Amino acid sequence: LGEDFAEAQQKKANYDESQIAPYTLPDLLQTATGKHVSTAEDWTQLRRPEILALFEQHVYGKTPAPSTWGKVDFKVTEVKKDALGGKATRKFIHISLPEHPAWKGMEVMLYTPNGLGKPAPCFVGPSFGGNHAVSTEKDVPLSTRWMRPNKEKNIIDNKATEESRGNESSRWPLEMIIAQGCAVATYYYGDIEPDHADGWKEGLRAALSKDGAATEWKDGDWGAIGAWSWGLQRIADYLETDSDVNAKQLAVIGHSRLGKTSLWTGAQDQRFGVVISNNSGEGGAAIMRRNFGETTAVITKAFPHWFTKTYTSYSNNEASCPIDKHMLIALAAPRAIYIASAVEDEWADPKGEFLSGLNAEPVFALFGKKGYGVREQPAIDTPVGDTIAYHVRTGKHDVTSYDWEQYLKFVKRHFEK
């Protein structure tokens, strides 16, 4: 039903804590055969693979095996050594699948700091608006792909326009990130497939299926979030070949639906040493058993294509789902994870986002890693935590420089240890 349906539901949702029915979270530390997990080794060998498979089966679907997509081609199409007034080097990399030309490939934009004297830690995240929307540099090629209609952002007839340049730049403070000695790699999520119910037919998922768009996606097959996440993982493949980046210091980041994508990427691909969820909400960090703000019923009606088909069966039926989102956070362990909320973003259930991190702590503890250090949601603009961190900032659903200040500190703290 799409964005309008989701927006209309925002006014009708429950925002009253006292109206949340009591619930029990699935046990993180008990295996399918009833064994209690009490060591890091048992977590890694037994329980982690089980939980990953549950998320594939019930939530996001299974990412096809590498043999499905075959060779991945990286072509560096531009290197500009004096980007951002000389402070950074900007590269464009075209990533494609020579064995699956029906997929048009993706354009990665990479900024690395000049004069650092060593390979830089790198943030990797998708954008909503394309590279030209992330950067304000006028020579960034305008994306020609399908975009969600948005007059305010100067997206006309589903296409970017010259006026849409920089319209996402407040969410990507490139100068600030570069000044802190970090790199950024990003791509337009629509390079993978257009974000609507039939988008998969024109994108990667159809290109990789045996009969193109002829067969509908079944239970257990990957949804759009899985496909967008695949794109982030191919960027990591490229970064492993680029000597300006320290591929052992990658942080995956995303906002909202792309925050859900970031979490699923961190769960699947352990090359990301830091995982960042910005206002990921329902289908992301928020506990699904809490009826607060967006619900499983709403999200799977509005955006069924984001998930595997099975997920829809948990509408108004969350208790029967074998996972909840503390298990998604736990899949990041023992790596570092940052969960961020915004106080006015009640639709995303800030407290539910906090609680998933809190309830993931027992897994991090198996590795001797500390979580929040508090049991209650902290005051506004008061970040907490060690290997699992959290803040709820002033303001609305967005990515702000306040958020980035915390992420930069977090990334440095974890990678400089």
Helices marked H in 240-283 — which ranges?
A: 257-268
Select from 382, 386, 392 the least CA-distant residue to 414: 386
Judged by CB under 6 A, which of 137, 244, 282, 403 binds ligand GTR? 282
Is residue 279 within 8 A of residue 256, CB to CB? The reply is yes
Report if residue 257 touches ligand GTR, rule: CB under 6 A: yes
For ligand GTR, give the closer residue by CB, 47 or 58.
58
Burial class (CB in 10 A: 0-12, 13-18, 19+), 334: middle
Distances (CA, A) of 307 to 53, 55, 266, 325, 404: 14, 10, 17, 14, 28
Report if residue 3 touches ligand GTR, rule: CB under 6 A: yes
Which residues are registered as beta bridge partners of 275?
Answer: 252, 337
For ligand GTR, give the closer residue by CB, 105 or 293.
293
Report if residue 202 touches ligand GTR, rule: CB under 6 A: no
Which residues are registered as beta bridge partners of 238?
Answer: none
Is residue 287 within 8 A of residue 326, CB to CB? The reply is yes
- The alpha carbon of 128 is separated from its chain's Cα centroid by a whole number of angstroms, namely 12
For ligand GTR, give the closer residue by CB, 302 or 329.
302
For ligand GTR, give the closer residue by CB, 83 or 321.
321
Judged by CB under 6 A, which of 281, 352, 357, 371 binds ligand GTR? 281
For ligand GTR, give the closer residue by CB, 273 or 281.
281
Judged by CB under 6 A, which of 221, 294, 346, 361 binds ligand GTR? 294
Positive or negative: CA dihedral 126, 333, 223, 304: negative
**If you ran DSSP here, which 8-state letter would residue 292 be given?**
S
- Least separation in angstroms between CB 381 and ligand GTR: 22
Window 295 to 324, contacts with ligand GTR (CB under 6 A):
299, 302
User: Quick one: tokens of 144?
Assistant: 């020609």
Start-to-end Cα distance in the chain: 46
Report if residue 399 touches ligand GTR, rule: CB under 6 A: no
Q: Has 397 been annotated as catalytic?
A: yes
Judged by CB under 6 A, the stretch of 110-118, 233-241, 294-302, 318-326 that binds ligand GTR is 294-302
User: Quick one: tokens of 103?
Assistant: 């997929």
Window 57 to 86, contacts with ligand GTR (CB under 6 A):
none
For ligand GTR, give the closer residue by CB, 307 or 372.
307
Report if residue 256 touches ligand GTR, rule: CB under 6 A: yes
- Least separation in angstroms between CB 84 and ligand GTR: 27
- Least separation in angstroms between CB 256 and ligand GTR: 3
Report if residue 350 touches ligand GTR, rule: CB under 6 A: no
Judged by CB under 6 A, the stretch of 17-25, 130-138, 211-219, 281-289 that binds ligand GTR is 281-289
Tokens 């939980």 -> residue: 51
Which one of 143, 209, 256, 262 is the catalytic residue? 256
Say how far apart CA 203 and CA 212 lie, in whole Å.
Answer: 10
Tokens 């998320």 -> residue: 55
Say how far apart CA 84 and CA 91 lie, in whole Å.
Answer: 12
Please report the beta strands in 343-393, taking only residues with DSSP state E, as ranges in sequence order.
Answer: 384-385, 388-393
For ligand GTR, give the closer residue by CB, 122 or 299.
299
Judged by CB under 6 A, the stretch of 150-158, 227-235, 277-285, 365-373 that binds ligand GTR is 277-285
- Which residues are tagged catalytic? 256, 397
Interface residue list for ligand GTR (CB under 6 A): 3, 6, 256-257, 281-283, 294, 299, 302
